[in-house]
Structure formats: structure tokens, C-alpha cells
Amino acid sequence: MRWTIKPKPSEEKIKNLAQALNVEDFVATLLVQRGIETFDDAKNFFRPSLDHLHDPFLMKDMEKAVARIELAIENQENILVFGDYDVDGTTAVSLVSAYLKSYYPNVATYIPDRYLEGYGISFKGIDFADDNGFTLIIALDCGIKSIDHVAYAKERNIDFIICDHHRPGEFLPEAVAVLDPKRNDCFYPYDELCGCGVGFKLIQALGSKRNQTIDDFIPYLDLVATAIAADIVPMTGENRVLAYYGLHVINSNPRPGIKALIHQIKKQTLDITDVVFIIAPRINAAGRIKHGNHAVELLTEFDFEQAQQFASEIEQYNSDRKELDKQITKEGLLQIENNGEKDRFTTVLYQEDWHKGVIGIVASRLIETYYRPTLVFTKSGDKYAASARSVKGFDVYNALEACSQHLEQFGGHMYAAGMTLKEENYSVFKEAFEKQVQETIHPDMLIPEIEIDAEIDFADITPKLTRILKQFEPFGPQNMTPVFLTKNVKDTGYVKKMGAEDEHLKLFVKQNNSEGIPAIGFGLGDKMDLTTNQKPFEAVYCIDENEWNGKISIQLRLKNIR
């Protein structure tokens, strides 16, 4: 692993902010690194406010979208709320449909089948709308490239409103309204919303026409926070505000479906990491193993007992998903080793019977061993379908775009994408992708990097510091959990391995004459020799609070040692 200490901002900025906030210089450094340079910046950061949310009508086409929905309601039209089968899509569909149903009955939802229809708007979905008398489809977290689908719907007198956050292609679909802050001609002040976030702006706009205030929308923020966490969008601007208040809803008064999920896992208070690793995988598991409809049923259910029933079914899907991704990851690693592909710049694998619902997770798992852009393909009908995952700093979407002549379709983000291709194009695409990555990736990007915010001594770790760091939450891209480096660390003699395969380390560490601090190093079991016999080492870590029997204590979560 590469250890990289972030560049230190100018001394003047640090001193000015430290003075204004009455904090230590290194706390001011952490803030300036996050773009917070003034007292007002810090106030907005530490005290997120719903007043900081932008007017939804600043988004291009918002007036058109609201007018078309109001016309549909006036004319008693049937409205179909359509969304993708992942967390962002299912939360967005739950959000918009629940809001519309709160005052208009002719609303239904549609989630495409991952296996029969694939990602995004489907012809089958449009046929369903046509057969059942729907004249307006609101598409969430998808649709920005669905030019043919929207044209097909138009021929059947079905209008589309698209709410997406993915990058548009050269042309936009001919929908009644296209809400996407990433449109070149959209000057909405914040363009990093997730799909559910764009859906939230839509209901906010609809509500303003009905004299509703932001307070009326707080109960929907548990869904928005879940989508923000799961979709790994930047934890800045509006996302930070929405996630902050959404977490409060999750921990105080969540909707029955989310309450039922929390009830299953028996955890008292959830932070954003819990949402990412506990709530989101369970919602995702429905679409991966069975059908995304199960997630929407859970998230829109008002009866807690019924929600508990849905949650226990989803718990089973999640267990099945874990087994599958473990097995397929093992098979994928064997393929790399047996095919002599260890030294490539990319991992591109295919196996006909791999479960389409978990290939994205498997791609992420393979990166843990072979750190490089990774695509995992499986058979989908008469085509090959893949999920792509990337490494830090490398835009896999751009790389796919450069090879798009070999693809049937593709879409996604910098770090995650999906695609399909014809069987006969697989080999030529695999080599084209390898060549493209080889020519454009910086060699350093193929070595995992730990970014370190600051070097500190254990003496700096005080209750005041942990209180301040707690206020940096919620964490996420562009506001990651601060990572510290401390040198000349020694274990006090209690180091031991933990876990079923001795894969983790548990230590009690000190520096110079500091008090000992408990530390845990997940996945660092093989580094135990560096810590025995009081040998000094350097440690990179995050500062955690550990709750045990009602008592809270400081613990270091080691990321690496050397």
C-alpha cells in the first residue's frame, strides 16, 4: 500500500480558521482540506440546515415536470413510477410513489426484472404501461440515455418525465421533462445528487405548489439518506444536509420498513457506515436475488407487522447473496490464477452461470486481491452482461466509452458501470479494454493508496478531539473519516490475532509515555510480527468510539502498519 500524506494547506488559512473557531491547528487543517476556510463555512458544515437546500425550480425542466403531473391529476390519468432495482432506484420509487399516493390514488410502481429486462427503462415496462392504461411514466435513477424507449412510448401516447443523475449522452430523450443536474444546460447549483435526491427535489417542487414546507418532507429523508449512502455520492452540499437529517429520521422515527430492518439487526444507533454496510445490502438483496419489487413493498408498507414479514424474507435473500458472492469470488480468483492473468492492467472475467445479481459485488471483491479496473461478465439471454468497478482515481466509464464500438449498451459512473455485448465481441472487447486502460492509467493507481490527513501524537487524542470529529459526520466521498499517522508506536505486549482465520489483530498501543489505547486492525493479522516484542512501528488509523455494556471508550481502527 502507498501511504500518502495530503498536502498541507497554507499556514495563513490554517491559523485564521483555528483562531476563528478556537480549535487546534491540526483540526483547522482537516477542515481546510475539506474546503472549509471561514467561520461561516464551518458553521454550515457543523450545523447543516434544511434552509440550505436549493429551490427545486432552479433545476432545468422542473416547471414542466410539475405542470405535467398536475395535469395528469386533473385529468385523472394513471401514473406509473418506474425505477431501477438497486437501492437508489427502489428508494426513489418508494419516495415519489408514497408522496403522490398521499393525495392521489391512481399511482402504481414498476421495477424492471434484473434478469429479464436488465438495467433502466425497458420496452416490457412500457408495454405494461400501455396494456394497463398508464399515460405518464416518471422514471427515476434511469432514462437519461433511453432515447429509443421514450420514442417507443410516445408512439403509444405515453409521456415520460425523467429524473436521473447519470451523465447524459450527446442527445437527450424527447421526454416532457428531463431532470438531471448533470445536463450541460442545467445550472442547478449542486450536480452531485443521487437519483433519489432528484426524486426528492421533484416532490419538494410539487409540494411547494400545495403550500407545503420543507418540514412536511422530513419523514421522507430516511429514504434519501439511505440512497446517498448506498450510491457513494459526494457527502457535500445538499447531500450532506439531506444525509444528516435523514440519519436523524432513521434513528428516531423511520418508516416501518426501515424500522423492521433495524429491528432484525438489533443495533441501537446507526451511523452512515451502518447504512452503507447493513441497511443498503439488504435492500439491494431483493433485486439481486428475487425482485426489486420486494424492496419497494418493504419501504412503502405502513403496517409494522407486515413490514417485519417482508424484512425477514429480505434477510434470507441477503444470506443467499453472501453465499453466492463468496463462491463466485473464489471461482473468479481461480480463473485469474489459472489463465495466467495476474500481470494484466485489468481483470475481465466471464462465466456463463455466474449469478447476475452479485457480479458487481464480486468485481469489488476481486479488486481487494488484484487492484485494477475489473469487469465481471455472465450470460444474460443471448448476450453477455457485466458489472464494472474501478480503482481510486481511474474513470472506468470513460474507458468503456473509448471501447463502446464493441458494446451493445453501457452506462454508469466513474467508479461503477454496467454493460452488455454480443458473445462474439467479448474477446475483442477484452483486449481493447486492456489496451485502453494500459494507455491511460497511471501506474501508481494500481497500488492501493491510504490518504493520511495529518500526523499526530497519541497525546493529541483527547475527548475534545473525538467530540469535534464526531461533528464531521456524516462521512462519505469528499468528507471521508479523518485518517491519522502516528510514529514510534509500540504494543504493550497484549497483541493477539482474532477472527475465524486469524485475519484480524487486536492490540493495546502506546507512544512514548502516553496512556495505552486499544486498537483493532481488520485484515492485518499477517502483520503481527511487526508488533511483537515491543518493536516500534508506524500506524495509520481512524479514531473510533467503542460502545460496550453502555460505556463509550476511544479505540483506534488501524488501516495499516509498517
Residue 73, H or E segment: helix 62-74
E strands, 357-493, are 374-380, 383-389, 409-412, 416-422, 449-452, 454-455, 484-491
Please report the pLDDT score of residue 61 as a whole number.
98
Do 135 and 259 lie in a common domain?
yes
Q: Quick check: is 115 in a domain?
A: yes
Do 368 and 470 lie in a common domain?
no
**Averaged pLDDT for residues 540-559:** 86
Q: Could you give the CA distance from residue 521 to residue 528 in angstroms, rounded to a whole number?
A: 10
Do 472 and 531 lie in a common domain?
yes
Burial bucket for residue 385 (CB in 10 Å: 0-12, 13-18, 19+)? buried
Q: Could you give the CA distance from residue 434 to residue 438 in angstroms, rounded to a whole number?
A: 6
Q: Could you give the CA distance from residue 546 to residue 556 in angstroms, rounded to a whole number?
A: 9
**Averaged pLDDT for residues 364-376:** 95
**Averaged pLDDT for residues 548-561:** 87
Do 75 and 223 lie in a common domain?
yes
Q: Could you give the CA distance from residue 490 to residue 375 in angstroms, rounded to a whole number?
A: 41
* DSSP code, position 479: B
448 confidence band (pLDDT: 50, 70, 90): very high
Do 415 and 523 lie in a common domain?
no
Do 432 and 467 lie in a common domain?
no
Grid cell 431532470 is found at 179
Number of domains in the chain: 3
* DSSP code, position 526: G
Q: Could you give the CA distance from residue 482 to residue 557 in angstroms, rounded to a whole number?
A: 11
**Averaged pLDDT for residues 479-500:** 93
Are 230 and 275 contacting, i.e. CB atoms less than 8 angstroms apart? Answer: yes
Do 530 and 467 lie in a common domain?
yes
Task: Give, to the nearest 10 degrees, the angle between helix 237-252 and helix 195-208.
Answer: 80
What residues are paired with 544 via a beta bridge?
555
Are 239 and 248 contacting, i.e. CB atoms less than 8 angstroms apart? Answer: no
Please report the pLDDT score of residue 509 as a whole number.
94
**Residue finishing a domain among 446, 468, 487:** 446
The pLDDT of residue 553 is above 90: no
The pLDDT of residue 550 is above 90: no
To the nearest whole number, what is the mean pLDDT of the chain?
94
Do 94 and 115 lie in a common domain?
yes
Nine-digit cell string for 139? 422514471
**Averaged pLDDT for residues 468-476:** 93
Residue 25, H or E segment: helix 25-33
Please report the pLDDT score of residue 520 as a whole number.
95
pTM of this structure: 0.90
Q: Quick check: is 232 in a domain?
A: yes
Do 274 and 374 lie in a common domain?
no
Q: Quick check: is 11 in a domain?
A: no
**Residue finishing a domain among 411, 446, 481:** 446
Q: Quick check: is 103 in a domain?
A: yes
Residue type for 16, please? N
Q: Quick check: is 548 in a domain?
A: yes
- CATH code for the domain in which residue 548 is found: 2.40.50.460
Q: Could you give the CA distance from residue 9 to residue 457 in angstroms, rounded to a whole number?
A: 20
What residues are paired with 317 via a beta bridge?
none
Mark 491-523 as b/e (b = at least 16 C-beta within 10 Å): beeebeeeeeeeebbbbebbbeeeeebebbbee
Do 530 and 388 lie in a common domain?
no
412 confidence band (pLDDT: 50, 70, 90): confident
Higher-confidence position of 550 and 514: 514
- CATH code for the domain in which residue 393 is found: 3.10.310.30
The pLDDT of residue 530 is above 90: yes
Q: 172 is in which domain, residue-wise?
A: 56-313
Please report the pLDDT score of residue 422 as a whole number.
95
Are 480 and 273 contacting, i.e. CB atoms less than 8 angstroms apart? Answer: no
Q: Quick check: is 553 in a domain?
A: yes
Are 164 and 139 contacting, i.e. CB atoms less than 8 angstroms apart? Answer: yes
The 10s digit of each residue's pLDDT in 137-193 is: 999 999 999 999 999 999 999 999 999 999 898 899 999 999 999 999 999 999 999
The 10s digit of each residue's pLDDT in 67-121 is: 999 999 999 999 999 999 999 999 999 999 999 999 999 999 999 988 888 788 9
Q: Quick check: is 12 in a domain?
A: no
- CATH code for the domain in which residue 144 is found: 3.90.1640.30
Q: Could you give the CA distance from residue 202 to residue 526 in angstroms, rounded to a whole number?
A: 51
Do 430 and 355 lie in a common domain?
yes
130 confidence band (pLDDT: 50, 70, 90): very high
The 10s digit of each residue's pLDDT in 54-68 is: 999 999 999 999 999
The 10s digit of each residue's pLDDT in 282-292 is: 999 998 888 98
Residue type for 423, please? E
Please report the pLDDT score of residue 123 as a whole number.
96
**Averaged pLDDT for residues 213-226:** 97
Do 136 and 166 lie in a common domain?
yes
Look at residues 61, 110, 100, 57 and name the one whose alpha carbon lies nearest to residue 77.
Answer: 100
The 10s digit of each residue's pLDDT in 311-369 is: 999 999 999 999 999 999 999 999 999 988 889 999 999 999 999 889 999 999 999 99
Task: Give, to the nearest 10 degrees, the angle between helix 304-338 and helix 359-369.
Answer: 50
Q: Quick check: is 168 in a domain?
A: yes
Please report the pLDDT score of residue 266 as a whole number.
73
Please report the pLDDT score of residue 527 as a whole number.
93
**CA torsion through residues 366, 367, 369, 371, sign:** positive
Please report the pLDDT score of residue 551 as a whole number.
77
**Averaged pLDDT for residues 244-256:** 96
**Residue finishing a domain among 446, 467, 496:** 446
